[in-house]
Structure 1
């Protein structure tokens, strides 16, 4: 078991003033077996009231709105988290986690690679096999993909970030009828948020990190989970205005 202090800050900039901005945030650690968030604080600028609920994936979500015109929006989540990866959750092993999504469809050269390299095995053995294959034949590189890049598109580019590694692994595992899901969260250190995969082995969920080619341990903190990234974005929103939007995020996870 480990105890961490975490912080997560995101800043959105608009190219011109916007108004009637309604948003959803997924920005605090999940509360589940093996992970206990404590003393959580979430603040927004410009200030607004937040209401909290849960989405269909079990993620805590915060809803808010800003009516007045503004050119920026930021939110900051801080707190402590206890993590014990030996106490794994068995909840939520829904059958729909077996099926591909728009971001994890197996097609094109990604499907060709899968057909040429697939093996048979139990879910965890398959996860270990594919994370090794992906780590060998796909490289980490920032700036070549976006949050809407599908697994097969990233594969054709030959490079991507943690989100792409996770989507590719999900595509392979789901093609072999494995129940698996996307996870967004934090790892120890300072920088960007991280993404990995959880595989259901028939009894519990096991975390697998294809970017680093390893299984997850107590150094991983879950923020959200779902079939793919689109269910786990830190922020989703709509507003009135013709502005372009940019977003930057910075995270920190330190053992205490």
Structure 2
């Protein structure tokens, strides 16, 4: 099995129009440690520094919670890590494949599987194998959705973005997941970084094959041997936001700058 080693950086800088007396953030900005990834080292911190705890959630995602109580007008959240990403071969199977995983077959808050069953039924007619189904599904989604920012948001469901016909990587991923689940194939949402000059986090899909979880990126039309760096997996976006937090201040706050980097290590 081929593998690639990467140095990974995620840094977000927030600014506030008035003093912040408390800032509490939950972070999923460390590479996933499991499946096709091996986390080699990690360092997560903030400026100003805060009280830090680390744990794994129900999906195995590494989660940091950092609470800053030192008064501040800006906050930097930074993660640096190195990870080994293994390229896993997809083992095909003739449909119907007997692959079980109830968690990633059922509907979730943003993905209504029943809504996509009529579409799945039609795609299954023209698909003999799992490989056929995945590729037919991606082509269908790309023909039905136009990539456009500012139309959808993180709370937009797969059904809504499909009916709008526009969206971003989150929408492409969730619609693809909905169709695959409706076809009887376990599929999960992935958040992380692409390995070719990323400018922000990206969303893609992993489906379960006889050889395990295999990546596919419907937004960029990439299949299987994708050496992206995944930060978190889940049923849909709600299980995977990179930063989720609250702060106490009389003024507003905003993301001033986001810096991400994935660099190959020999």
TM-score bin, normalised by smaller chain? 0.7 to 0.9
1:179-210 Cα distance to aligned partner (Å, 9 max, x none): 11000111121311111111112441111111
Return 44-53 or 244-253, whichever deviates more: 244-253
Change (3 A) 1:70 1:160: same
The aligned residue for residue 94 of structure 2 is none
The aligned residue for residue 234 of structure 1 is 242
Q: CA deviation at 1:14?
A: 3.8
Task: Say which SS state the counterpart of residue 40 (structure 2) adopts.
Answer: strand
Q: Which runs of 5+ in 2 are unaligned?
A: 91-99
Paired positions, count: 250
Deviating above 6 A after TM superposition, structure 1's stretches of 4 or more consecutive aligned residues are none
Q: Which runs of 5+ in 1 are unaligned?
A: none
Equivalent residue for 1:215, pick from 218, 223, 226: 223
So what's the TM-score if we normalise by structure 1? Answer: 0.86
- In the aligned structure 2, how far is the partner of 1:173 from the partner of 1:215? 15
So what's the TM-score if we normalise by structure 2? Answer: 0.83
The alignment status of 1:253 with 2:262, answered yes or no, reads yes
The aligned residue for residue 110 of structure 2 is 103
Change (3 A) 1:64 1:97: same
Change (3 A) 1:152 1:81: same
Equivalent residue for 1:172, pick from 179, 182, 189: 179
Change (3 A) 1:199 1:124: farther
- In the aligned structure 2, how far is the partner of 1:86 from the partner of 1:176? 23
Task: Say which SS state the counterpart of residue 124 (structure 2) adopts.
Answer: coil
Alignment of 1:157-168 (within 5 A): 157-168=164-175
The aligned residue for residue 114 of structure 1 is 119
